[in-house]
Amino acid sequence: MTDLLDRIGAIGVVPVIAIESVDDAIPLADALLEGGLPLAEITFRTKAAADVMHILRDKRPDLLVGAGTILDIASLDAAQAAGAAFGLAPGFDAKIVTGATTRNFPFAPGIMTPSELGAAIKLGARLCKFFPAGIAGGPAALAGVSAPFAHLGPRFIPTGGVTESTIAEWLTIKTVLAVGGTWIATTKDMADGRWTDIAAKARAAVARVRAARGG
């Protein structure tokens, strides 16, 4: 888990991707890699998700792939079987957190409140998704929610309402490992074959992270 956190933290931004077609898997991966962003969260919002993860595992091993929107044990098993390196969820479900631990599968539950964060930590979660980050109150809200738990060492990936222009604000919080966002590779971008645009947005996001961290 430590190595995984280090890899995600070194990149600093997680593209959150709802991909509709398996035919787009390789062009997507190549665009992200061209943009210097070797990381993607493939969400279970589409029927193609598991097949896409499987393709990326086999064909583009340089891309670190996480499975998003894990809402049940079936999705947890599907993510692991497809070769995802880790999983994430928008909310907190104790059964899924425990199931991930039992399967030795790195997993980040979603939290928005101190109660949810406390419950996640109690079950051993070291990484949590702060969601929906924008509606929940932005960086100030995460700082307030997480402060009483700072001595326990949780790390966060705020997602939902994060944009390229707000990356630096989030990264000022020391417990933020990386930010997650949908703007880098949208469903429409992929449907329209805008791979050059995706690469450019990936490159810009990486540059923002670098600048926020002092180069």
- Sign for the CA dihedral angle at 168, 89, 202, 190 comes to negative
Number of Cβ atoms within 10 Å of the Cβ of 113: 12
Number of residues that make up the chain: 215
Residue of 20, 41, 122, 188 marked active site: 41
Residue 50, CA atoms < 13 Å, CB-side half-sphere: 11
Number of Cβ atoms within 10 Å of the Cβ of 160: 19
Q: Is position 164 annotated as part of the catalytic site?
A: no
Residue of 59, 116, 122, 129 marked active site: 129
Contacts of 132 (CB under 8 A, 6+ apart): 90, 112, 159, 160, 161
Q: Which two tokens mark 209? A: 């992270």
Q: Is position 41 annotated as part of the catalytic site?
A: yes
Asked if 145 and 156 touch (Cβ cutoff 8 Å), the reply is no
Active site residues: 41, 129
